[in-house]
Amino acid sequence: MTENNFWLKKIEISVSEAEKRTGRNAMNMQETYTAYLIETRSVEHIDGQSVLTDSLWRRYSEFELLRNYLLVYYPHVVVPPLPEKRAEFVWHKLSADNMDPDFVERRRIGLENFLLRVVSHPILCRDKIFYLFLTQEGNWKETVNETGFQLKADSRLKALNATFRVKNPDKRFTELKHYSDELQSVISHLLRVRARVADRLYGVYKVHGNYGRVFSEWSAIEKEMGDGLQSAGHHMDVYASSIDDILEDEEHYADQLKEYLFYAEALRAVCRKHELMQYDLEMAAQDLASKKQQCEELATGTVRTFSLKGMTTKLFGQETPEQREARIKVLEEQISEGEQQLKSKNLEGREFVKNAWADIERFKEQKNHDLKEALISYAVMQISMCKKGIQVWTNAKECFSKM
């Protein structure tokens, strides 16, 4: 275990606070942004010495920079996603403003969850840049950029080209890509339905508030029934006001679903990297086969396929034996290099598949556990909510019965 990893195993990480700030961006224009306080606390002592405990502020863009770096340097890992930058799948009472206090609070929780996901990952937790992200406030971005990770990032055009031109895709990764698309589609639909239900539920609860007001006003003009109507109105008012807390709890479960909505893209990123590696492998094999054919044609003096070189030979005459030998020698050297390159790419590809599939299996276990737990908790909450509704009307019935 590395020193950094050992250190990370001995601390607690939290994003404890969010703060609205004003500053100047790279274009020297004033901007308003939110900074998040990351706290690292020692949970035990090592050799009698207290482990470094510190706190520092990070912007959301710095979290993005960290994740982009991890995506490039660990292409076989399903890198945990960040919480949404702007609110999606919101119902009408929620603000879509990314500076809204409630949204900022939910994003703070999401950023903390992201750090906990990374620190609990057996590979990502050992990364030096991640270690510095938690401990080095000044010049951290410069340190990341010095790694040159942007130069190693694959272009979208290259990835798209590989998707359509790879001839022998791995069936497992093809199925995984289809699964990630379906996962994203299903969770998106679920979140949209949930937003519509939240709107309707909010309306139903507020109708109870109208009942409460009507009963209270009615009680003022009744003598014998006044107390019963007043009590029923009170029950209705309490029930109507409880919807705000209920929907706030629901947002917590919605955010858990959103995390796996964004995990779908992380799965596709691993699939795209495999397609790129497979495409490079096929191109290397094709180039090697072409050079072997050229070498064979030169050695035998027969041309199997049409080529510009063949036409040039017919027009301007045959090469001298010395020229042919020189070309054969160059081709043999290129073939030798190509064989080594192909062997290296094959080994790299097998290693990638082995590591990627191990991490995908780890992700599946995590996903099954998290989603099962979240959905059960959501169902329990809904049952509890319905029981409270029944209890309110039972109490109201008792009030009416005593009139």
- Quote the pLDDT of residue 394: 93
Q: Are strands 49-50 and 45-46 parallel, antiparallel or unpaired?
A: antiparallel
Q: Which of 84, 152, 81 is nearest to 117 (CA)?
A: 81
Q: Which of 379, 111, 80 is nearest to 250 (CA)?
A: 379
Long-range CB pairs of 91-99 (<8 Å, 24+ gap) are: 91/195, 91/196, 91/198, 91/199, 91/202, 91/247, 92/199, 92/202, 93/198, 93/199, 93/202, 93/247, 94/251, 98/34, 99/20, 99/32, 99/34
The model's pLDDT over 140-184, given as tens digits with 9 standing for 90+, comes to 999 999 998 888 887 766 767 777 788 888 899 999 999 999 999
Whether the predicted model's global pTM rises above the 0.85 cut: no
Beta strands in 2-104 (DSSP E): 11-24, 30-42, 45-46, 49-50, 54-59
Task: Provide the β-strand partners of residue 22.
Answer: 32
The model's pLDDT over 208-221, given as tens digits with 9 standing for 90+, comes to 999 999 999 999 99
Q: Which of 235, 272, 257 is nearest to 373 (CA)?
A: 257
d(CA 239, CA 210): 11
Residue 314 has pLDDT above 70, yes or no: no
CA 341 from chain center: how many Å?
33
Question: Hey, how many other C-beta atoms are within 10 angstroms of the C-beta on 119?
Answer: 19
d(CA 200, CA 211): 17
* Lowest mean pLDDT across 40-49, 77-86, 107-116, 242-251: 40-49
The model's pLDDT over 62-71, given as tens digits with 9 standing for 90+, comes to 999 999 999 9
Task: Provide the β-strand partners of residue 14.
Answer: 39
- Quote the pLDDT of residue 103: 85
Q: Which of 367, 379, 374, 371 is nearest to 253 (CA)?
A: 374
The model's pLDDT over 72-120, given as tens digits with 9 standing for 90+, comes to 999 999 999 999 887 776 655 655 566 788 888 999 999 999 999 999 9
Residue 1 has pLDDT above 50, yes or no: no
- Quote the pLDDT of residue 75: 94
CA 190 from chain center: how many Å?
18
d(CA 161, CA 180): 20
The model's pLDDT over 381-394, given as tens digits with 9 standing for 90+, comes to 999 989 988 998 99
Burial of 221 (0-12, 13-18, 19+ CB in 10 A): exposed
Element (H, E) at 188: helix 171-219
The model's pLDDT over 256-273, given as tens digits with 9 standing for 90+, comes to 999 999 999 999 999 999
Burial of 110 (0-12, 13-18, 19+ CB in 10 A): buried
Q: Which of 284, 291, 363 is nearest to 329 (CA)?
A: 291
Mean pLDDT along residues 242-255: 87
Residue 275 has pLDDT above 60, yes or no: yes
Residue 332 has pLDDT above 50, yes or no: yes
The region that residue 153 occupies, defined by phi over 0 for left and psi between -120 and 50 for alpha, beta otherwise, is beta
From the options 1.20.1270.60, 2.40.30.10, 3.30.420.40, 3.30.1480.10, give the CATH code of 169-297+328-402.
Answer: 1.20.1270.60
Q: 54: pLDDT confidence band, cut at 50, 70 and 90?
A: confident
d(CA 253, CA 378): 7
CB of 157 closer than 8 Å to CB of 279? no
- Quote the pLDDT of residue 7: 55
